[in-house]
Amino acid sequence: MSKGAFFGGVHPSYNKDMASGQAVIEMPLPKELIVYFSQNLGAPSNPVVKKGDEVKKGQVIGESGGFVSTPVHAPTSGVVKTVENRPSPVGADMIAAVIVPDGLDEWVEGCNVERGSTGLNREKIKGLIHDGGIVGMGGATFPTHVKLSPPPDKKMDTLIINGAECEPYLTADHRVMLEDAESVLDGAALFAGVIDVKNIVIAIEKNKPDAIITMQRAIAGRSGFTVAEMDVIYPQGAEKQLIYAITGRKVPAGGLPMDVGVLVQNVGTAAAAYEMIRYNRPLIQRVVTVTGSGIKHPKNVLARVGTKFSDLIEFCGGVHGDTAKLINGGPMMGIAQHSLDAGMTKGTSGLVLLREDEVGQFVSDPCIRCGNCLDVCPMTLNPSALSIFIERMRFDDAEEYNLMDCIECGCCAYVCPSKRPMVHHFRRAKAEIRNKAKKAG
């Protein structure tokens, strides 16, 4: 199935066996949950609860703030202690509902009810996926219903279910495929029905042979499904690279997968969508890999959205002394955290704790033009030149060198012998260029 390899990429130490053998454990309800109203890429949702309100599990607490937006649900039953700005795992403080669970974990009426398949047409399914607050669970948190709504002129023919999980350390998707294969496939079938494609590819990196076997067994008897064994290389799971590796099609620069007739969805997203359609359970919990050399007992935890990082860490036995970095997501693209009191979001696929000697600290030495970054850039950019331009504030030149096509995978910084903070430079320049474009109209 695999058509070949994309250009570039790196082979970091994967360190997945720390957690890959750990079955998913459901975490008991913590003392409080920090549920942000911005759980997706795009417009944040609008709070509809206030301090003191009682909420039930699955109740909508934030309504969709636009088309590219999803509702947010209460992860359990309890009382809204406050609605205020809290430190967020992705950036500046964000508005969140702080919910104190009452321990009863009662569903709101209408949720957790098995739904018959009658009357389920495309629009209905899309509507339910929106209502369930389903977003891309690989980390990007793009609203799934938007991805399922390609303009009519785009002819879709392939659905890729992304189980590559190329980020080092993380095993959440791996465990979902092992333990919940049927839900993943049922969810995938739903997606395929909505966009009317017959060809569904489950993409799994070869370093997960058990997941490959499980999936191969599970697709037996289903038509249209194939399992693609992907080479182990980072960033195999990046949308554009995955599509190229499987179909040989190049998503145009600045374009979307739908431009080449492909839709990519994460395995966790497929399972979550199935839960919503079949049982009317909105996305209020997910599998999080808590791992890294800094944590005492690495685990795959099924945790409620809003669980504080400190609670996750405590549940996994605490930390070793010299833990210096706490990462929301994988170590290649995840966001380093400064506060243990931020809550996990729908996009939190893992919590990686690294010790000081493992952390690749940046030193910003001058570029020695070794060209390593050009060899590994999967978008075939010239990161060396880009970073030099940006250091000299030449943002126009950086734009001319296709900065905006950078996917921030971090391969360049991973191999840079001068330890330059390449991705940081690029993010800054992108922000600068976007601001300029906004000002220009």
Partner 1 sequence: MLSAMLNAIYVLAALALVASFGLAIAARIFAVETDPRIERVEEALPGVNCGACGFPGCSGLAKAIVEEKAGVADCPVGGENTASAVAEIMGLSFAGGGEKMVAMVLCRGDDEVASKRFYYNGVSDCSSAALIFGGDKSCSYGCLGLGTCAGACPFGAIEMLPSGLALIDPEKCTGCTKCVDSCPKGIIKMVPASRTVHILCSSHDKGGVARKACKTACIGCQKCVKAVPEGAIVMDNFLAVINYDMEIPEEVADECPMNTIVVRRQGDLAATSVDMQTAVGGDA
Partner 2 sequence: MEDNLEGKVPEEKRPSADGPAEKPAVPTDGAAEKPVAPTGESAEKPAAPAEKSADKPAAAGSPPPAAKPKKKDEIGPRFIVSSSPHLHDGRTVSSIMKLVVYALLPATLFSVYAFGFGALKVIIISVASAMIFEALSQKAMGRQIRLADFSAVLTGLLLALNLPSTSPWWLVVTGNFFAIVIAKQLYGGLGYNPFNPALIGRVVLLVSFPVHMTARWVQATPFGSNPFGVDAVTTATPLTMARESLAALGHIDVPFGTQEIMNLLVGNRGGCLGETSVILLLAGGLFLILKKVISWHIPVSFIGSVWALTGIFYLIDKTTYANPSFHVISGGLILGALFMATDYVTSPVTKKGMLIFGAGCGLITVLIRLWGGYPEGVSFAILLMNAATPLIDRFTKPTVFGAVDKQKAAA
Nearer to partner 1, 88 or 247 (CB): 88
DSSP annotation of 112: S
Nearer to partner 2, 191 or 395 (CB): 395
The alpha carbon of 327 is separated from its chain's Cα centroid by a whole number of angstroms, namely 13
Instruction: Choose the one of partner 1, partner 2, none that binds residue 374, judging by a C-beta under 5 to 8 angstroms depending on kind.
Output: partner 2
Cβ-contact 106, 95 below 8 angstroms: no
The correct pick among 82, 310, 364, 402 for binding partner 1 (CB under 8 A) is: 364
The reply to whether 140 sits near partner 2 by the rule CB under 8 A is no
Residues 319-358 that bind partner 1 (CB under 8 A): 336, 338-339
Cβ-contact 78, 59 below 8 angstroms: no
Cβ-contact 135, 346 below 8 angstroms: yes
> What single letter denotes the amino acid at residue 59?
Q
Three-state DSSP state, 390: helix
Residues 22-41 that bind partner 2 (CB under 8 A): 31
Phi, psi of 351 (to 5 degrees): -130, 110
Stretch that binds partner 2, among 120-128, 173-181, 268-276, 415-423 (CB under 8 A): 415-423
Residues 51-110 that bind partner 2 (CB under 8 A): 81-82, 84, 86-87, 93, 98
Complete edge-to-edge strand list for the sheet that includes strand 78-86? 33-36, 94-101, 78-86, 54-55
The reply to whether 223 sits near partner 2 by the rule CB under 8 A is no
The reply to whether 63 sits near partner 1 by the rule CB under 8 A is no
For the record, the structure tokens of 168 come out as 């080092």
CA distance 285 to 217: 27
Instruction: Choose the one of partner 2, partner 1, none that binds residue 23, judging by a C-beta under 5 to 8 angstroms depending on kind.
Output: none
CA neighbours within 13 Å on the CB side: how many for 102?
A: 15
CA distance 348 to 403: 27
Instruction: Choose the one of partner 2, partner 1, none that binds residue 432, judging by a C-beta under 5 to 8 angstroms depending on kind.
Output: partner 1
The correct pick among 175, 325, 346, 430 for binding partner 2 (CB under 8 A) is: 325
DSSP annotation of 57: B
Nearer to partner 1, 115 or 338 (CB): 338
Say how many C-beta atoms besides its own lie within 10 A of residue 4's C-beta: 9
Residue with tokens 């943002």: 395
The reply to whether 394 sits near partner 2 by the rule CB under 8 A is no
Nearer to partner 2, 327 or 344 (CB): 327
CA distance 103 to 76: 8
Phi, psi of 230 (to 5 degrees): -100, 150
In angstroms, give the least distance from the CB of 261 to partner 2.
12
CA distance 293 to 395: 39
Binding mask 164-203 for partner 1 (x = CB under 8 A): ----------------------------------------
The reply to whether 150 sits near partner 2 by the rule CB under 8 A is no
The correct pick among 331, 344, 347, 348 for binding partner 2 (CB under 8 A) is: 331
The correct pick among 91, 116, 221, 366 for binding partner 1 (CB under 8 A) is: 91
Stretch that binds partner 2, among 129-137, 187-195, 275-283, 324-332 (CB under 8 A): 324-332
The reply to whether 224 sits near partner 1 by the rule CB under 8 A is no
Instruction: Choose the one of partner 2, partner 1, none that binds residue 92, judging by a C-beta under 5 to 8 angstroms depending on kind.
Output: partner 1
The reply to whether 421 sits near partner 2 by the rule CB under 8 A is yes
CA distance 395 to 57: 48
The correct pick among 13, 118, 223, 361 for binding partner 1 (CB under 8 A) is: 361
Write b or e for each residue in 144-169: b if 16 or more Cβ atoms lie within 10 A of its Cβ, otherwise e: bbbbbbbeeeeebebbbbbbbbbbbb
DSSP annotation of 307: B
Nearer to partner 2, 187 or 257 (CB): 257
Which positions lie near partner 1, rule CB under 8 A? 87, 91-93, 336, 338-339, 361-362, 364, 421, 424-425, 427-428, 431-432
